[in-house]
Amino acid sequence: MDKIADIWDSVPRGAQWALGAIGALYAASWATTLLYFAMDTFLLSGTNLRKYGKKGTWAVVTGASDGLGKEFATQLASKGFNLVLVSRTQSKLDTLAKELEAKYAGVQTKTLAMDFSQDKDADYDRLAQLIKGLDVGILINNVGQSHSIPVPFLETAREELQNIVTINCLGTLKVTQVVAPLLVQRKKGLILTMGSFAGVTPTPYLATYSGSKAFLQHWNSAMAEELKSQGVDAHLVVSYLVTTAMSKIRRTSLLIPNPKQFVRAALGKIGLGAGELFPYTYTPWWSHSAFKFVVDNTVGMYSSISVWFNLRMHVDIRQRALKKAAREAKKA
């Protein structure tokens, strides 16, 4: 201790002041980041959905028949929004549409069955026809596909990588080009696009999915800046695991909410992105956000340590998935 004091005393007075000021500024900036993060995560509510429309305003939800999309549709219907439900399976869409109309008096629905992996212009034209003349205020770009199990990139089936990029990237872009002009026309609207931790930290064994979500991250931030001056808010919603068919996880835990919890947070914290690396991005679920904050401020979400950790984790998931598949094949 004495030695440190001696070294400090030997530093010229002016330099001592400069070092002290730099230290104080660093501490203040860190404390501010922590404060903003804590306020956004635990205290503040995001932009009120009413900014984007009243009861009877329409919301378009893609991937609406299951998982997070179904929950987005349900929670928007509970707030009085009419729904355009888009996904692959007509029977599932019909069941959901009936459920929503029965449960929420006055809510209207329209459905469109389309397979985004087919990338057919005719499907996007049908969507344009379906929403023509409607007061559309919200677009939820939720549709997405991941790898069936973690897989090294070089072993990824060509069809799987083609579908992931076509659905996650092209599908999202093309739906947005159809719907967003209606939001711009009424000079207010909201676009939420589902991102993922895999789009933030490069994720080995999910390389194509990871790249597709990283693509959405940059695309959203760039487009959001363009649309802001036209009254449209566009945000990327970042999520770690949620209990859905895609994650194949059934039980909730500290880090893994169910769709109801996640979507309530996503619709309640719109635009609260303190501490995010990218503009127009937020991580709504508190434990996802806390996890990201800690990693960001220690090893870093982009660091080689995080990528290595992701590799270990996904190699392990792949091995368990292959063992399970082998057990099931034996039973059959």
Ligand X SMILES: NC(=O)c1ccc[n+]([C@@H]2O[C@H](COP(=O)([O-])OP(=O)(O)OC[C@H]3O[C@@H](n4cnc5c(N)ncnc54)[C@H](OP(=O)(O)O)[C@@H]3O)[C@@H](O)[C@H]2O)c1
Tell me whether residue 41 or residue 203 sits nearer to ligand X (CB atom): 203
CB 237 within 8 A of CB 220: no
Strand partners, 117: none
Tell me whether residue 1 or residue 245 sits nearer to ligand X (CB atom): 245
CB 279 within 8 A of CB 225: yes
**In this structure, what is the dihedral angle of CA atoms 111, 117, 120, 125, given to the nearest 10 degrees?**
30
Catalytic residues: 209
- Which residues contact ligand X (rule: CB under 6 A)? 63-69, 87-89, 92, 115-117, 142-146, 167, 194, 196, 239, 241-242, 244-247
Q: Nearest distance from residue 115's CB to ligand X, in Å?
A: 4
Q: Nearest distance from residue 135's CB to ligand X, in Å?
A: 24
Phi (first) and psi of residue 297, to 5 degrees: -95, 10
Q: Nearest distance from residue 282's CB to ligand X, in Å?
A: 14
Give the CA radius of gyration of the chain: 23
Tell me whether residue 169 or residue 315 sits nearer to ligand X (CB atom): 169
Tell me whether residue 196 or residue 306 sits nearer to ligand X (CB atom): 196
Provide the strand spans (E) within 160-201: 189-194
What DSSP line would sit under 212-269, residue for residue? HHHHHHHHHHHHHHHHHTTTEEEEEE-----SSTTTT--S-BTTB--HHHHHHHHHHS
Q: Nearest distance from residue 146's CB to ligand X, in Å?
A: 6
| Alpha-carbon gap, residue 7 to 4, rounded angstroms | 5
| Alpha-carbon gap, residue 129 to 35, rounded angstroms | 47
| Residue 229 marked ligand-binding | no
| Binding site members for substrate | 196
